[in-house]
A and B are shown apart, each in its own frame.
Chain A
Amino acid sequence: EAGVAQSPRYKIIEKRQSVAFWCNPISGHATLYWYQQILGQGPKLLIQFQNNGVVDDSQLPKDRFSAERLKGVDSTLKIQPAKLEDSAVYLCASSLVVTAGDIQYFGAGTRLSVL
């Protein structure tokens, strides 16, 4: 079974530029998550999708971050414009269903450096 795919693996941009990350979840997984992991911290949920609808985006900085999951499969997370504090690893995860006990499967992440 193929895992969660993310691209690119690394991205370096200057502040005020825009950037986009792509995620392809495990086939058949209805739920998709985007997390931000700042160095030395645990992952923080940015947005959670159930199929192509948003379940939770309470911690997404909506003035600069946006995400979409067209057709309920792959997803794109965008930052525009980027700030220095956006430097982090952006993790995508997916799960088969959306229940409190579901197991999330993570991709390798995209490491973003904002200069």
Chain B
Amino acid sequence: AQSVAQPEDQVNVAEGNPLTVKCTYSVSGNPYLFWYVQYPNRGLQFLLKYITGDNLVKGSYGFEAEFNKSQTSFHLKKPSALVSDSALYFCAVRVEGSARQLTFGSGTQLTVLP
């Protein structure tokens, strides 16, 4: 079985400060990891993914994420937060070689305060 945990339901950060949204995972095998963002009344949008290679992955809108195998984590980061980054963020995992179920975490609501 595979699972994703997002330990924080809510993250608040001041505009211009760095932000981190945490994600840990559990899979049997090598993980493929994803971050998606959801704005109100809209579907999920892909931000970035880790498949293999460099542990630091860069994605859309200045976001990046660091894969840490020993800690089974894939935290989302951004050096300087914008008010427009306020949204619901989801981490998701799949097992390498499996095209089946993408398992999502419960989501973290990010609020960037002006």
Contact = CB atoms under 8 A, between A and B. Distances in A.
Chain B's interface size range is: 20 to 34
B101 interface: yes
Contacts, number: 63
Q: Is the interface of A mostly helix, strand, loop or mixed?
A: loop
Interface residues of A, number: 28
A9 to B, nearest CB: 8
B49 A101 contact: yes
Interface of A: 4, 31, 33, 40-45, 48, 55-56, 58-59, 91, 93, 98-109
B63 to A, nearest CB: 15
13 contacts: A33-B102, A42-B105, A44-B104, A56-B100, A56-B101, A93-B44, A100-B94, A100-B96, A100-B97, A101-B94, A103-B46, A106-B36, A106-B44
Contacts of B51: 100-101
Interface in B87-111: 90, 92, 94-102, 104-107
